[in-house]
Amino acid sequence: MTLILEATAASAEANATCSLENYLALPDHTMDARIAAARVKLGATTVILGHHYQRDEVVRFADFTGDSYKLSKAAAATGAQYIVFCGVHFMAESADILAQNGQQVILPDLNAGCSMADMAEISQVEDCWDALERTGLADETIPVTYINSTAAIKAFCGEHGGLVCTSSSARKALEWGFARGKRILFLPDQHLGRNTGHAMGIPLDEMVVWDPWAVQIGSGQFGSFGGGQTKDRLAASRILLWKGHCAVHQRFLPSHIDQVRAKYPGIKVIVHPECRYEVCQKADALGSTEQLIARVEQAPAGSMFAIGTEIHLVNRLARRFAPQGKKIITLDDTGCLCTTMYRISPQHLAWVLENLVEGRVVNRVQVRPQVKHWAQVALDRMLV
């Protein structure tokens, strides 16, 4: 299966007449009036989506803010012809999969990727499945992919009897899978899979890691079938964890929790389940981005939180709740920035909007029909 992640044919013409390089040479603040003017001209034809991890200079222009699935659903429910997704490529793909006929999805910078999604390439997943078939384990294995994955991976799961999950629905997805098979192949974030499995009471030694880069060292009872695992280890596993992770959340360490608790006695530590197992075990609570926000919202005035997630969101929460006397800091004060999300700049946003004003669609993201079909199947099975 393949997918398209590319600008439309109109982009070549647009680049010649409205060069992105000319925008990138200008300061951020000079884009504000231009973005605002373009939005007025475009009106209801265009909706701007801003992921929680976007920089403030961009997210303040968003019509909707939230996580990727929430944003994709919101955009599909509008009558907008153009969906400008200020996020990363797998999010734009999901928006295209869920979009109504006639809606076009635009990613302001096609280089805005996701390191986690990129850690599971479709050819690698197909190789893993081939190994499971050779060992006779594929028929009893249900593939489940986190929404932070490419359209091709979502489609693979849909075509092989699996589904997509969010961080808040991961447990429901695993329960759904276990009702249909003995084992889950969980893609692409090992930490979310491990933390969810542990919360369900699955022992750590029954959750083994499939490393797509491991060298196959042989075959048979004691040899590797790929992924750095033997047949016996694969057969004994309940969850086969893909060796992937979020570059932002993996940076948090147990020592960071010790340090903030020593400095701020009584502080509550809340983290995203994409954090490593050892961090989640030390934290007071874990939850999806929306759940972390809700926990801060519902806390009484004067509460203190150290949050293990992307720095732009943490800083935004700190400013929002400061008037209520709530102290909010990042779990790691060196700052955990999502560099790929940061690629979306005011200049990129102004460029795509002003091209739309001129009747040109640049950086359109389209998923091929066959991939879209099976990815839609996997998303339709999603439990939210």
Are residues 145 and 223 both part of a single domain? Answer: yes
Tell me the CATH number at 260: 3.40.50.10800
- Rounded to 10 degrees, the C-alpha dihedral 66/325/287/189 comes to 70
Is residue 187 a part of any domain in this protein? yes
SS (H, E, C) the chain: CCCCCCCCCHHHHHHHHCCHHHHHCCCHHHHHHHHHHHHHHHHHHEEEEEECCCCHHHHCCCCEEECHHHHHHHHHCCCCCEEEEECCHHHHHHHHHHCCCCCEEECCCCCCCCHHHHCCCHHHHHHHHHHHHHCCCHHHEEEEEECCCCHHHHHHHHHCCCEEECCCCHHHHHHHHHCCCCEEEEECCHHHHHHHHHHCCCCHHHEEEECCCCCCCCCCCCCECCCCCEHHHHHHCCEEEECCCCCCHHHCCHHHHHHHHHHCCCCEEEECCCCCHHHHHHCCEECCHHHHHHHHHHCCCCCEEEEECCHHHHHHHHHHHHHHCCEEEECCCCCCCCCCHHHCCHHHHHHHHHHHHCCCCCCEECCCHHHHHHHHHHHHCCCC
Are residues 304 and 284 both part of a single domain? Answer: yes
> Which residues touch 364 (CB under 8 Å, ≥6 apart)?
6, 7, 8, 10, 11, 104, 105, 106
What is the span of the domain harbouring residue 214? 117-246
Which residues are registered as beta bridge partners of 163? 144
Give the pLDDT confidence score for residue 225 in this predicted structure. 61
Indicate the burial class of 253 (C-beta count within 10 angstroms; 0-12, 13-18, 19 or more): middle
Is residue 158 a part of any domain in this protein? yes
Are residues 218 and 320 both part of a single domain? Answer: no
Mean pLDDT calculated for residue range 71-82: 94
Give the pLDDT confidence score for residue 216 in this predicted structure. 57
Are residues 20 and 91 both part of a single domain? Answer: yes
Give the pLDDT confidence score for residue 224 in this predicted structure. 53
**How high does pLDDT run on average in the chain?**
90
- pLDDT-derived band of residue 3, with 50, 70 and 90 as boundaries? very low
Are residues 233 and 145 both part of a single domain? Answer: yes
Mean pLDDT calculated for residue range 149-171: 97
Are residues 75 and 147 both part of a single domain? Answer: no
Task: Give the model confidence (pLDDT) of 325-339 as tens digits.
Answer: 999 999 998 767 787
Task: Give the model confidence (pLDDT) of 7-31 as tens digits.
Answer: 333 444 444 346 888 888 888 888 9
Is residue 53 a part of any domain in this protein? yes
Give the pLDDT confidence score for residue 335 in this predicted structure. 64
Which residues are registered as beta bridge partners of 240? 185, 208
Give the pLDDT confidence score for residue 221 in this predicted structure. 44
Is residue 310 a part of any domain in this protein? yes
Is residue 73 a part of any domain in this protein? yes
Are residues 99 and 140 both part of a single domain? Answer: no
Task: Give the model confidence (pLDDT) of 300-356 as tens digits.
Answer: 999 999 999 999 999 999 999 999 999 999 999 876 778 777 789 999 999 999 999
Task: Give the model confidence (pLDDT) of 136-153 as tens digits.
Answer: 999 999 999 999 999 999
Number of domains in the chain: 3
Distance CA 30, CA 145 (A): 41
Give the pLDDT confidence score for residue 43 in this predicted structure. 96
Are residues 351 and 298 both part of a single domain? Answer: no
Are residues 221 and 169 both part of a single domain? Answer: yes
Is residue 219 a part of any domain in this protein? yes
Could you say which of 246, 278, 301 is where a domain stops?
Answer: 246
Model pTM above 0.85: yes
Are residues 99 and 122 both part of a single domain? Answer: no
Task: Give the model confidence (pLDDT) of 210-239 as tens digits.
Answer: 999 886 544 544 445 678 988 899 999 999
pLDDT at 158 over 90: yes
Could you say which of 211, 246, 281 is where a domain stops?
Answer: 246
Are residues 27 and 132 both part of a single domain? Answer: no
Mean pLDDT calculated for residue range 265-270: 97
Tokens encoding 47: 């909706």
Are residues 197 and 77 both part of a single domain? Answer: no
